[in-house]
């Protein structure tokens, strides 16, 4: 079984170790895996490009214009990396909400975090897609190690499991991309995980839109933050596999209402309930609470 500790102690680059193990397990050719990973990076890039250009609403009307809105807005903070990472992440998740083509990484709900962080950093620094193949292989190895120990879906373990996994995978990938050691990559993953513990899954109406789209923007930045700390030699105080154990334990304690059932949290706010009722065809009196949604399907 691959553990985060094994990955942390692998010879550099850790992606080569992941690839070797994967080929041994599956019998696949390493070049075929690399080619497939490059193809998936191309799919991620396609979803980013479409998402940044479209302001078409999702079927619920809750999302669809956020990525383009940010991308077209002035960079008031003079923080181009931040803006790029956030916009890329939301572009992918808004494509998902529009039923467009995305790469689940590891899930559809968290599909924007890795492209946001990894492609965002790469484009900011002028790094080609070919150089992202190895970091993506390490991300896959981290995801596999997480899945052996913990949940990776919101329904099983809350959003901490879903978006926490994607942020950890992204953080490790960014570290390898920027020349960090396997130890730094896994500590980045661990810090991303330990600072996501407890996050609940409460999608409004059960649709992977609110808070999911903005959540990917936040956690893509979270992944880059974890990578930056790890590249400066900061480490996770709790060992990475112990962090996974803690998250799994919290996931098991989490009530069903906070695990993608839309029975708690944001889904049960007046606005969340009004959106749900509208989507179920129930008549609504006047404006929706907050005035945030004007649904095209009434
Ligand atoms: S809130 Fe739930 S559905 Fe949305 S991204 Fe998180 S885990 Fe996925």
Instruction: Give me the pLDDT at residue 242, please.
Output: 98
The predicted model gives 244-256 an average pLDDT of 97
Which positions ≥6 away from 93 have C-beta within 8 Å?
A: 51, 63, 102, 109, 111, 112, 208, 212, 213, 216
The predicted model gives 267-294 an average pLDDT of 75
pLDDT in tens, 91-147: 999 999 999 999 999 999 999 999 999 999 999 999 999 999 999 999 999 999 999
Cα 23 to its chain centre, rounded Å, is 26
The residue nearest atom 6 of ligand 1, judged by CA position, is 159
Asked whether the predicted pLDDT for residue 289 surpasses 50, the reply is no
Using the mean position of ligand 1's atoms as its centre, give its distance from the Cα of residue 260 in Å: 7
Question: Which atom of ligand 1 has the smallest separation from the CA of 161?
Answer: 7
**Cβ pair 182, 8 in contact under 8 A:** yes
The predicted model gives 203-222 an average pLDDT of 97
Q: Which has the minimum average pLDDT: 8-12, 92-96, 194-198, 285-289?
A: 285-289
Using the mean position of ligand 1's atoms as its centre, give its distance from the Cα of residue 13 in Å: 32
Q: Which has the minimum average pLDDT: 23-27, 121-125, 282-286, 291-295?
A: 291-295
**From the CA atom positions of the chain, what is the Rg in Å?**
19
β-strand partners of 239 = none
Asked whether the predicted pLDDT for residue 153 surpasses 80, the reply is yes
The residue nearest atom 2 of ligand 1, judged by CA position, is 201
Cα 87 to its chain centre, rounded Å, is 13
Can you tell me the distance from the alpha carbon of 154 to that of 208, in angstroms, rounded to the nearest whole number? 11
Can you tell me the distance from the alpha carbon of 18 to that of 95, in angstroms, rounded to the nearest whole number? 30
Share of the chain above pLDDT 70, in %: 94
Using the mean position of ligand 1's atoms as its centre, give its distance from the Cα of residue 161 in Å: 9
**Cβ pair 275, 204 in contact under 8 A:** yes
Can you tell me the distance from the alpha carbon of 122 to that of 120, in angstroms, rounded to the nearest whole number? 5
Asked whether the predicted pLDDT for residue 294 surpasses 80, the reply is no
The two structure tokens encoding residue 242: 């112990």
The residue nearest atom 8 of ligand 1, judged by CA position, is 109
The two structure tokens encoding residue 212: 């999911």
Helix (H, G, I), strand (E, B) or coil at 259: strand
Q: What is the average pLDDT value for the chain, to the nearest integer? A: 94
The residue nearest atom 3 of ligand 1, judged by CA position, is 208
Pocket of ligand 1 (CB under 6 A): 109-110, 154, 159, 162-163, 201-203, 208, 211-212, 215, 260
| Residue 286, burial from CB neighbour count under 10 angstroms (0-12, 13-18, 19+) | exposed
**Tokens 């991303």, residue located:** 192
Among 92, 109, 268, say which to mutate for ligand 1: greatest number of ligand atoms within 8 Å of CB.
109
Using the mean position of ligand 1's atoms as its centre, give its distance from the Cα of residue 92 in Å: 14
Instruction: Give me the pLDDT at residue 287, please.
Output: 56
Instruction: Give me the pLDDT at residue 282, please.
Output: 83
Instruction: Give me the pLDDT at residue 292, please.
Output: 45
Asked whether the predicted pLDDT for residue 150 surpasses 70, the reply is yes
Helix ranges (DSSP H) in 232-267 = 240-253
Using the mean position of ligand 1's atoms as its centre, give its distance from the Cα of residue 5 in Å: 27
Instruction: Give me the pLDDT at residue 2, please.
Output: 83
Confidence of residue 66 (pLDDT cuts 50, 70, 90): very high
Instruction: Give me the pLDDT at residue 108, please.
Output: 97
Confidence of residue 295 (pLDDT cuts 50, 70, 90): very low
Question: Which atom of ligand 1 has the smallest separation from the CA of 162?
Answer: 7
The two structure tokens encoding residue 259: 């695990």
Helix orientation angle between 212-231 and 182-194, rounded to the nearest 10 degrees: 140
Can you tell me the distance from the alpha carbon of 37 to that of 22, in angstroms, rounded to the nearest whole number? 13
Asked whether the predicted pLDDT for residue 291 surpasses 60, the reply is no
Which pTM value belongs to this model?
0.95
Asked whether the predicted pLDDT for residue 266 surpasses 50, the reply is yes
Using the mean position of ligand 1's atoms as its centre, give its distance from the Cα of residue 207 in Å: 9
Using the mean position of ligand 1's atoms as its centre, give its distance from the Cα of residue 10 in Å: 32
Can you tell me the distance from the alpha carbon of 270 to that of 292, in angstroms, rounded to the nearest whole number? 12
């Amino acid at each position: 079984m691959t553990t985060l500790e094994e990955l942390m102690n692998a010879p550099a680059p850790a992606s080569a170790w992941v690839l070797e193990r994967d080929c041994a397990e599956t019998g696949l050719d390493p070049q075929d895996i690399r080619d497939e990973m490059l193809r998936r990076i191309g799919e991620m890039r396609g979803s980013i490009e479409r998402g940044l250009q479209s302001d078409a609403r999702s079927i619920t009307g809750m999302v669809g214009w956020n990525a383009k809105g940010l991308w077209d807005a002035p960079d008031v903070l003079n923080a181009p990396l931040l803006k790029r990472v956030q916009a890329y992440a939301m572009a992918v998740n808004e494509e998902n909400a529009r039923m467009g083509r995305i790469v689940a990484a590891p899930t559809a709900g968290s599909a924007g975090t890795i492209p946001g962080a990894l492609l965002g950093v790469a484009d900011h620094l002028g790094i080609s897609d070919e150089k992202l193949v190895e970091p993506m292989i390490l991300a896959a190895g981290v995801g596999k190690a997480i899945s052996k120990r913990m949940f990776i879906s919101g329904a099983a373990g809350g959003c901490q499991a879903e978006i926490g996994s994607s942020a950890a995978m992204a953080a490790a990938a960014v570290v390898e991309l920027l020349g960090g050691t396997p130890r730094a990559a896994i500590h980045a993953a661990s810090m991303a995980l330990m600072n996501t513990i407890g996050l609940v899954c409460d999608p409004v109406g059960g649709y992977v839109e609110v808070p999911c789209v903005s959540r990917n923007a936040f956690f893509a930045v979270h992944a880059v933050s974890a990578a930056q700390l790890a590249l400066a030699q900061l480490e996770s105080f709790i060992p990475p596999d112990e962090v996974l154990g803690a998250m799994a334990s919290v996931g098991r304690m989490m009530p069903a209402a906070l695990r993608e059932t839309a029975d708690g949290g944001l889904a049960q706010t007046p606005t969340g309930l009004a959106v749900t009722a509208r989507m179920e065809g129930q008549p609504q009196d006047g404006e929706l609470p907050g005035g945030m949604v004007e649904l095209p399907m009434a």
